[in-house]
Amino acid sequence: MVDDVITTLQNAIEISRNWAKTGWSVTFGPRNTEVLTLEQAQALPKNFVFREEAVNYWRQAQLTGNDAADSGEKALKALKNGNLSVAADALYFSQYIEQPFARYSSLWHDLYETVNALCIQV
pLDDT digits (tens, 9 = 90+) for 31-85: 999 999 999 999 999 999 999 999 999 999 999 999 999 999 999 999 999 999 9
Query: What's the distance, CA 45 to chain centroid?
Result: 28
Euclidean distance between CA atoms 77 and 56, whole angstroms = 32
Which pTM does this prediction carry? 0.91
pLDDT at residue 56, as a whole number: 98
Q: Give me the domain span that covers residue 58.
A: 2-121
25 phi/psi in degrees, rounded to 5: -80, 115
Q: What is the pLDDT of residues 94-108, one digit of tens each?
A: 999 999 999 998 899
How many structural domains does the chain have? 1
Strands (E), 1-122: 27-28, 33-34
Under the phi-then-psi rule, with left for phi > 0, alpha for psi from -120 to 50, and beta for the rest, what region is 32? Answer: left
